[in-house]
């Protein structure tokens, strides 16, 4: 049940790492999943842009890219890349605190690994509800 946090091309340091790990395990458990290995890589806009171009053939900036390495049902293994530049920009645009926006994006990647999508209106609404649940849950840990 390893949950790891790394940085690439950023000085960002995640606060409350132990609480974040507890929170992520709780979210997974609530959905009937176990976390086998989950890596969060906090990075710069340019770093994530290059991953988006190289691996997904998308010539756009984004806040998150999730790679699912899971081999067993109900077991999570994956790598989640998060642009800290985008998270900071989005928190300013949305009028959210940096911590809440960070919780939204961190949980968003985890929900993707559990099979939730956000391509159409209904999926996006369900994803937003899950993110709100996760943000509120973190505030209780």
For 7-24, write each residue's pLDDT tens digit. 999 999 999 999 999 999
List, as residue ranges, the binding site for Zn(2+).
108, 112, 118
Looking up residue 31, the CATH number of its domain turns out to be 3.40.390.30
Report CA 123 to chain centroid distance, whole Å. 17
Detail the DSSP E strand segments found in 9-48: 34-43
Q: Give me the half-sphere count of Cα atoms (radius 13 Å) on the Cβ side of residue 122.
A: 0
Q: Could you list the residue range(s) of the whole structural domain that residue 89 is in?
A: 2-138
- Which two three-digit tokens encode residue 5? 């946090």
User: Residues of 58-84 as b/e, b for ≥16 C-beta within 10 angstroms?
Assistant: eeeebbbbebeebeeeeebbbbbbbbb
Say whether pTM exceeds 0.85: yes
Count of domains in the chain?
1
Reply yes or no on whether the pLDDT at 1 is more than 80.
no
- Which two three-digit tokens encode residue 56? 């997904």
List, as residue ranges, the binding site.
108, 112, 118
pLDDT digits (tens, 9 = 90+) for 51-100: 999 999 999 999 999 999 999 999 999 999 999 999 999 999 999 999 99
């Amino acid at each position: 049940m390893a949950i790891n946090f790394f940085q690439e091309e950023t000085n960002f340091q995640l606060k409350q790492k132990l609480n974040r790990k507890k929170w992520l395990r709780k979210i997974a458990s609530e959905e009937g999943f176990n976390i086998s290995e989950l890596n969060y890589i906090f990075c710069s806009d340019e770093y994530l842009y290059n991953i988006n171009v190289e691996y997904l053939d998308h010539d756009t900036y984004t806040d998150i890219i999730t790679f699912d390495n899971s081999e067993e049902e109900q077991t999570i293994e994956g790598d989640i890349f998060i642009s800290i530049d985008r998270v900071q920009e989005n928190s300013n645009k949305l009028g959210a605190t940096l911590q809440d926006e960070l919780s939204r994006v961190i949980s968003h990647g985890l929900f993707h690994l559990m099979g939730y999508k956000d391509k159409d209106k209904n999926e996006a609404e369900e994803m937003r509800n899950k993110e709100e649940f996760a943000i509120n849950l973190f505030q209780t840990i």
